[in-house]
Amino acid sequence: MFRLALLLVAAAMPITASTATDFKPLTWPDLTNRARPAADATISYGDDPFQKVDLWLPAGKGPHPVVLMVHGGCWTTEIADRSLMNWIADDLRKSGIAVWNIDYRGVDRPGGGYPGTFADTARAADLLAENAAKYHLETGHVVAVGHSAGGHLALWLAARAKLPTKSPLRTVHPLKIAHVVSLGGLPDLEATAASPDNGCGTEVVARLVGPRNGDRADPYADTSVPRLLPIGVTQDLVNGEEDRIIPFRLATGYVTKAKAAGDPVTLHTVPNTGHVELIAPETPAWAEAKRLIVAALRK
């Protein structure tokens, strides 16, 4: 299922002077070649094979606290799908936390890009509220967790109430997100598009946000999170000090903008951590992310 070509190329980039250490980062095969745990249920919300959600249910009757999880992969289905998050979803399930792990059509799928990728992400999120009673899920304090490109989508989900009135992505009652934990995310699409050293490249952003035209003069207005600030949601960004895929300045730049807008946002920098470590359950990076998730669910 995985053809992590773009990310593998980025991971193989030579270490710069600022990141030269003896640290040896995890590779994607280090994660994906291990035994893969299975979800408890899969829910469809469309006809495309990727319009699905995997539900990870802990033992017991509930109601279960719930994390809404969004995978990365440069918004490109060929690179990754929701199963990339299986290992941390399983770890949360073992800790008594339900996981609503969503998938969506990437920019390389028919109907993906704008508005499809965003509409899928929104529909998959709203499906959580519709299924909460059936699966005994507590949706009063949902924590969204996204990795890489999924970090952008998790923050975007939390910002949906701020979408422009004329946006086709705006809905009347979007699922309320109480807290976001972004793992090596790409929250600022404009900054990503201007950063040729990011592991996703710059062309994918244009495919994601769609063209500029007479009816839509600013394609970032309803797609890039900084345009929607303040979103009024607590945000934790967890980034690896040795991440060769997502430039660290993309995190610090977004944090500066979010704080200036008045949002409660904190950047957590994890030493000896690359990009894959953020979603590998045995790592200090995931331990930090999990600590933040558990603390957020307790509020």
Could you read off the pLDDT of 75-109 as tens digits, one per residue? 999 999 999 999 999 999 999 999 999 999 999 99
Confidence of residue 6 (pLDDT cuts 50, 70, 90): very low
Is it the case that residue 5 has pLDDT exceeding 90? Answer: no
Q: Rounded to two decimals, what is the model's pTM?
A: 0.92
Could you read off the pLDDT of 222-241 as tens digits, one per residue? 999 999 999 999 999 999 99
Question: What are residue 64's DSSP bridge partners?
Answer: 137
**In angstroms, rounded to a whole number, what is the distance separating the alpha carbons of residues 51 and 73?**
16
**In angstroms, rounded to a whole number, what is the distance separating the alpha carbons of residues 246 and 26?**
15
**In angstroms, rounded to a whole number, what is the distance separating the alpha carbons of residues 60 and 54?**
18
**In angstroms, rounded to a whole number, what is the distance separating the alpha carbons of residues 191 and 62?**
42
Could you read off the pLDDT of 33-84 as tens digits, one per residue? 999 999 999 999 999 999 999 999 999 999 999 999 999 999 999 999 999 9
**In angstroms, rounded to a whole number, what is the distance separating the alpha carbons of residues 70 and 89?**
11
Could you read off the pLDDT of 254-270 as tens digits, one per residue? 999 999 999 999 999 99
CB 11 within 8 A of CB 27: yes
Q: Which residues contact 252 (CB under 8 A, 6 or more apart)?
A: 267
DSSP structure class, residue 159: T
